[in-house]
Amino acid sequence: MSAKKVIVIGAGLGGLSAAISLKQSGYDVEIFEKNAQIGGKLNVLKERGYTFDLGPSILTLPHIFERLFEPSGKRMSDYFSIRSLRPHWRNFFEDGVTLDLYPEPDKMATEARKVGEPPENIERFLKYSADLYDLTNDGYFEQGLDNWQGFAKHYGLFKFFQFDLFRTMHQGVASHLQTQYFRDIFDFFIKYVGSSAYRAPAFMNAMPTIQFRYDLWYVDGGLYHIALGLQRLMEELGIKVNLNAEVSDVRREGKRVTGLVANGTFHAADIIVSNMEVIPAYEKLLNEDKAFIASLEKKLEPTCSGLVIELGLDCQYPQLAHHNFFFSGHQKEHFAKVFERYELPDDPTIYLVAASKTDPTVAPTGCDCLKILPHIPHIRDDHPLTREDYSKLKDRIIDKLERMGLKHLRKHVVFEHFWTPLDIRAQYNSNKGSIYGVVSDRWKNLAFKAPKQSTLYPNLFFVGGSVNPGGGMPMVVLCGQNVAKKIVAWDK
Ligand SMILES: Cc1cc2nc3c(=O)[nH]c(=O)nc-3n(C[C@H](O)[C@H](O)[C@H](O)COP(=O)(O)OP(=O)(O)OC[C@H]3O[C@@H](n4cnc5c(N)ncnc54)[C@H](O)[C@@H]3O)c2cc1C
């Protein structure tokens, strides 16, 4: 009997992971991707000797990526090389204080003492984080749980309450840490999923463990080498990838999807996996009715978007580490503006990556290449913003960086590029320009995203940041592996 045909819509990391895992499970797999290259948000810009990661720049949980190679008897290290970074992050505050994050307890204690945070507070917080991580990892991550019924069955009532259900992430942080510095730093781990620490449930405090226990990694030459490695693996496995092939329509017969249309041609499939986000896929590819879309929109609000700024400099700033955060003077207000009032922040917390600090191949000698990313609201019809509005924010950000120590930054820029939420939506078809998929919000969804299997068409599945367990590179790769397991079990 010939293998069943699976078509994957989109070659983001979630789609690639699903495609590889399904091929390894014996399916005949083909991918249709709208862009000219694979990787989705894992993207790269090379210009005038500078190489910028346009999307992700922090790799965590590499063991999840390793699982894409193991079933084929291969090793990830033969496809791309990774190295851990020290410090993990450098944190700059408006009053001139600078604090580094290290996974080594003695180094972390030295940093804590600089601002009067008792080191034992950090140790207690990290123990609390580790307990939450182990609990979340055991079911939600590894079993690919999708709903309350699955949670109740796997965890039972007693374990369920260990999720610290009645507090927000910030409340969990504030109950362990006493200085504003460390409260701001650990609140900002929510950056990994583009949500607000004041609205995310407390169990999101599992995130520091991802970094403190499993380390923080860089991919030599830039993170796009992950996509290049997966491309080689797919070639070896015989997975067909169609580029510049936007899917415009998914066809159905009754309660089954039968295939899709790309570039005007119909392609039949037994099973479809959509790496296009859930809401845009139902809306644009399946033309589902407005009431159904509205019911999804209630729960599956997009995460924040971002202003993604790349600067090639003619100099280096020695005070920068590889990863840097320039904190808002009023982080609570920053979160409220972006996630509750959906306004551009006056004083955002800014993430700045200078890969040139550890990788001499990404910038000309003696020069830094910077990617700067403040989180900003996703696109709102009730609050439309223009490229000029975003450009003004970019100026405020450069002002802030100059004020906080990057003296004469403007004068040293020899190359500049930036993307607004409008560009991000156009590039990846992401819902309202979201950069991590669905927001984690205690009141809207308790951090649950959409289920992997469609509730309307049993042979339609979803993968990526809008699906459990949500956004971030390792999570969408895990989602791809779990969706493959789900398909195999369902298809028996
Ligand atoms: C600026 C930025 C910084 C980030 N930083 C980090 C970080 O440091 N660490 C981290 O872990 N994560 C980070 N993330 C998040 C991470 O990049 C994402 O969570 C992850 O890459 C998303 O993968 P995905 O498979 O869900 O979706 P995507 O990467 O969006 O892939 C979806 C794919 O589907 C394609 N597609 C959509 N519609 C169609 C269609 N109709 N037909 C054909 N193809 C279609 C798109 O073109 C795209 O290639 C960052 C994201 C951004 C944007």
Ordered alpha helix ranges (H), 286-407: 290-299, 331-339, 387-403
- Where do you find CATH 3.50.50.60 in the chain? 1-42+223-299+449-492
Which amino acid appears at position 8 of this protein?
V
Give ligand 1 pocket residues (Cβ under 6 A): 9-15, 32-35, 40-42, 55-58, 246-247, 275-276, 306, 308, 373, 428-430, 435-437, 464-465, 471-473, 476
CATH class entry, domain 1-42+223-299+449-492:
alpha beta
- State how far the Cα of 219 lies from the Cα of 213, in Å rounded to an integer: 19
**For ligand 1, what atom is nearest to the CA of residue 58?**
8
Rounded mean pLDDT of 266-272? Answer: 98
Task: Give me ligand 1 centre to Cα 429, in Å.
Answer: 9
Give the span between the Cα atoms of 311 and 404, in whole angstroms: 17
Measured from the Cβ of residue 166, the count of other Cβ atoms closer than 10 Å reads 10
| CA 41 to centroid of ligand 1, rounded, Å | 3
284-341: per-residue pLDDT in tens? 999 999 999 999 999 999 999 999 999 999 999 999 999 999 999 999 999 999 999 9
CA–CA gap between residue 14 and residue 472 (Å, rounded):
10
Q: Which residues pair with 32 in a beta bridge?
A: 9, 242
Q: How many residues does the chain have?
A: 492
Checking if the pLDDT of 133 tops 80, the result is: yes
Q: What are phi and psi of 8, to 5 degrees?
A: -105, 125
Torsion-angle region of residue 254: left (phi > 0), alpha (psi -120 to 50) or beta? left
CA 68 centroid distance within chain: 18
Of 50-54, 236-240, 384-388, 477-481, least confident by mean pLDDT is 384-388
pLDDT tops 80 at residue 1: no
Average pLDDT, the chain: 97
C-alpha–C-alpha distance, residues 364 and 47, integer Å: 11
The CATH fold assigned to 113-211 is Guanine Nucleotide Dissociation Inhibitor; domain 1 (1.10.405)
Please name the residue whose Cα sits nearest to atom 48 of ligand 1. Answer: 40
When pLDDT is averaged across residues 213-225 and rounded to a whole number, the result is 98
Mean pLDDT to the nearest integer, 443-451: 94
**Residue pair 368/315 in contact by the 8 Å Cβ criterion:** yes
Cβ atoms within 10 Å, residue 399? 12
Beta-strand pair 271-274/460-462: parallel
Q: Is 433 exposed, middle or buried (0-12, 13-18, 19+ CB in 10 A)?
A: buried
Whose C-alpha lies nearest to ligand 1, atom 18?
472
The CA distance from 119 to 116, in Å, is: 9
At 211, is the secondary structure helix, strand, or coil?
helix
Task: Report the pLDDT value the prediction gives residue 104, as an integer from 0 to 100.
Answer: 98
Which token pair is 103? 């996974």
Cβ neighbors of 426 (< 8 A, separation 6 or more) are none
* Region(s) of the chain under CATH 1.10.405: 113-211
Q: What is the DSSP letter of 282?
A: I
- pTM assigned to the model: 0.98
Closest ligand 1 atom number to CA of residue 480: 25
Q: What is residue 178's predicted lDDT score, i.e. its pLDDT?
A: 98
**Coil, helix or strand at residue 5:** strand
pLDDT in tens, 70-115: 999 999 999 999 999 999 999 999 999 999 999 999 999 999 999 9
Contact predicate 42/451, CB 8 Å: no
Cβ-contact 221, 206 below 8 angstroms = no
Look at residue 158 in the predicted model and tell me its pLDDT: 83
Distance 435 CA to ligand 1 centre (A): 7
